[in-house]
Amino acid sequence: MNDTVLEMNGISKRFGGVAALSDVSIDLREGEILAIVGENGAGKSTLMKVLSGSYPAGSYTGTIRIDGAEQRFASPADSEKAGIAMIYQEISMHLDASIAENIFLGNLPNASGVINWKTVYEKARQYTDMVGLNVPVRQTLRKLSASQQQLVAIARALSRNPRFLVLDEPTSTLTESEADVLFNILFRLKERGISSIYISHKLKEVLYLADRITILRDGRKISTRQIAETSIDLTVEEMVNRKIDEMYPKRAVPIGEEVFRVENLEVVHPLTNSKLIVDGVGFSVRSGEILGLVGLVGSGRSETVNAIFGAIRRKSGELFLDGRPVRIRNPRDAIRSGLALLTEDRKKDGFVAAFNVTLNATLARFRQLARHSVIDRRREESAASEYVDKINIKLRDLRDNILQLSGGNQQKVVLSKWLMTRPRVLFLDEPTRGIDVGAKAQIYELICDLAQEGIAVVMISSELPELVGMCDRFVVLSEGKVAAERQRGEADEEALLRLATLGMG
């Protein structure tokens, strides 16, 4: 049994009259990966902010010990000096500085105050190679994708040579291959005796990586188990405090006539004009039906729905609504035609971070809520309030900034924005990405409600169990083409994955 190297004992933290943590204790062993899971609001981030020194000693009760010696961190710098490196879900780096500068920020190699840039770039390349980032280290961060920026954050943490690595949803923006690189890094660090605390909503990922798992709920520790002693079902039940008889609340809904059809859709690849990323795709969806678009990364799923919606340019393709041709040149045309698109990345193009809940919820209906080109604030708040109640968005006040909400509630606000347009067809691109299991169940219920109202739903998800559990029919895309079509009950996860991989069916 490995020795315990880090302990947090009896940690309690309050914000005013609200207890965010109540007597939480965890321990971390040498060379161990400890997973901490729980719904949004369970206390995971608060506990890690105590460990990082973001909440300094004196602002909480309880003790932190490393190798048995009590630690009192007055700031994140103190925590870092003790060997703790944090990798947060929200990337906080200097976008206009280079990759190398971000990796060594505050710790640039120098001699008598003179920075040795040759050494900086050589060492930076060692760390970018380590995380599988094949980009020149002089490149500015602003030019990188979100997943590449996350890899830089991981490289920066590794450059500190930490004893303890804390990762908060580190794969939320990573591709599958990038996530695999991270997992291999963690396994190599483990062999060197470096310990990790891993926080993620992706339970399959957690069960693959971790040695033990600690579950938090409502600011309290519920259990700590060896991975071999738990399962996804048991973990979910302890997280949400109820039996999960059926993860996906699929209901039998009468499926009506065809509402929407696309034929011969083509979209040029963003990186090369000589290649199509969507190549002759066609499908239809009917009233009350939930259609799943299945495919691997690069299969053209997101490009298909974005091109239909007019958000990206299509080379060719015909669209039909109720059997009649419809012309959609931009998202405004799409909305007028009764289409709605919940995009893959809510933070990038789903909501406006500077706006409050009301403004974000009514973004797509500004024209209808205006009188003589002036927004009627009373009507606006009334409309927002109606949908907050209708889809059970948890918040303190409609004037709260949307960033104050949990990921699941942010997603509900974005969904309410589109429901206010009263769509005939709703495209959902990764509707449950980055939200906890309890919020996922609420989103699934809502999707079923919408289908029951007769809305035609087209759903994209990287989680095959989600599609198998929720959809009436599947269209499988492979390399930009339709590889197969299957009805519910005709294909399981393995069969759909095989079709998506082989591109034949």
**3-state SS string for 163-190:** CEEEEECCCCCCCHHHHHHHHHHHHHHH
Q: pLDDT at position 334, please?
A: 94
Distance CA 275, CA 298 (A): 13
Q: Is the CA virtual torsion 23, 54, 433, 188 positive or negative? A: negative
Distance CA 295, CA 461 (A): 9
- Confidence grade of residue 67 (pLDDT, cut at 50, 70, 90): very high
pLDDT in tens, 202-222: 888 899 999 999 999 889 999
- Confidence grade of residue 243 (pLDDT, cut at 50, 70, 90): low
Among 9-13, 440-444, 476-480, name the one with the lowest average pLDDT.
440-444
Instruction: Report how far apart, in Å, the C-alpha atoms of 439 and of each of 16, 184, 431, 467 are.
Output: 26, 30, 11, 17
- Confidence grade of residue 484 (pLDDT, cut at 50, 70, 90): very high
**What mean pLDDT is predicted for residues 284-306?**
92
**What mean pLDDT is predicted for residues 102-115?**
74
4-240 — its CATH code? 3.40.50.300
Distance CA 150, CA 172 (A): 9
DSSP result, 262-274: EEEEEEE-TT-TT
pLDDT in tens, 186-207: 898 899 898 999 998 788 889 9
Q: Is residue 23's pLDDT more than 90?
A: yes
More confident residue, 265 or 175: 265
Q: Which residues does 252 contact at the CB level (< 8 Å), separation at least 6?
A: none
- Confidence grade of residue 245 (pLDDT, cut at 50, 70, 90): low
Percent of the chain with pLDDT over 70: 92
Distance CA 42, CA 201 (A): 12
**What mean pLDDT is predicted for residues 317-329?**
96
Distance CA 276, CA 270 (A): 9
Q: Starting from the edge strand earliest in sequence, which strands make up the sheet with 212-217, in order?
A: 84-87, 164-168, 195-199, 33-37, 212-217, 220-226
What is the domain partition of the chain in residue ranges? 4-240, 246-338+424-505, 355-422
Tell me if 4-240 shares its fold with 246-338+424-505. Answer: yes
**What mean pLDDT is predicted for residues 330-358?**
84
More confident residue, 294 or 1: 294
- Confidence grade of residue 365 (pLDDT, cut at 50, 70, 90): low
What mean pLDDT is reported for the chain?
A: 86
Q: Which residues does 182 contact at the CB level (< 8 Å), separation at least 6?
A: 131, 154, 170, 171, 174
Strand partners, 429: 460
More confident residue, 375 or 467: 467
Query: Is 316 strand, coil or helix?
Result: strand
Q: Which H, E and C letters describe 206-267, residue by residue?
A: HHHHCCEEEEEECCEEEEEEEHHHCCHHHHHHHHHCCCCCCCCCCCCCCCCCEEEEEEEEEE
Distance CA 190, CA 399 (A): 46
**What mean pLDDT is predicted for residues 162-179?**
83
Secondary element (H or E) of residue 418: helix 407-419
- Confidence grade of residue 448 (pLDDT, cut at 50, 70, 90): very high
More confident residue, 476 or 438: 476
- Confidence grade of residue 60 (pLDDT, cut at 50, 70, 90): very high
Strand duo 374-375 + 370-371: pairing: antiparallel
User: Is 197:164 a contact under the CB 8 Å cutoff?
Assistant: yes
Q: pLDDT at position 505, please?
A: 47
User: Is 431:454 a contact under the CB 8 Å cutoff?
Assistant: no
- Confidence grade of residue 498 (pLDDT, cut at 50, 70, 90): confident
Rg, Å, the chain Cα set: 24
Helix axes 176-191, 146-159, angle to 10 degrees: 10
Strand duo 18-29 + 4-15: pairing: antiparallel
Nearest by Cα to 308 from 287, 330, 338, 276: 330
More confident residue, 41 or 30: 30
Q: pLDDT at position 64, please?
A: 97
Amino acid sitting at position 485? E
Distance CA 129, CA 155 (A): 9
| CATH superfamily of this structure's domain 246-338+424-505 | P-loop containing nucleotide triphosphate hydrolases (3.40.50.300)
Residue where the block lists tokens 């893959």:
344
Nearest by Cα to 419 from 367, 500, 361, 484: 361
Compute how many other C-beta atoms are within 10 angstroms of the C-beta atom of residue 74: 11
DSSP result, 389-415: HHTT---S-TTSBGGGS-HHHHHHHHH
Instruction: Report how far apart, in Å, the C-alpha atoms of 202 and of each of 169, 186, 273, 434, 459 are.
Output: 9, 16, 36, 8, 19
Burial 275-287 (b: 16+ CB within 10 A, else e): ebbbbebebbbbb
pLDDT in tens, 370-428: 555 555 567 677 767 777 777 777 777 777 788 888 777 888 888 888 888 889 999 99
User: Is 164:194 a contact under the CB 8 Å cutoff?
Assistant: yes
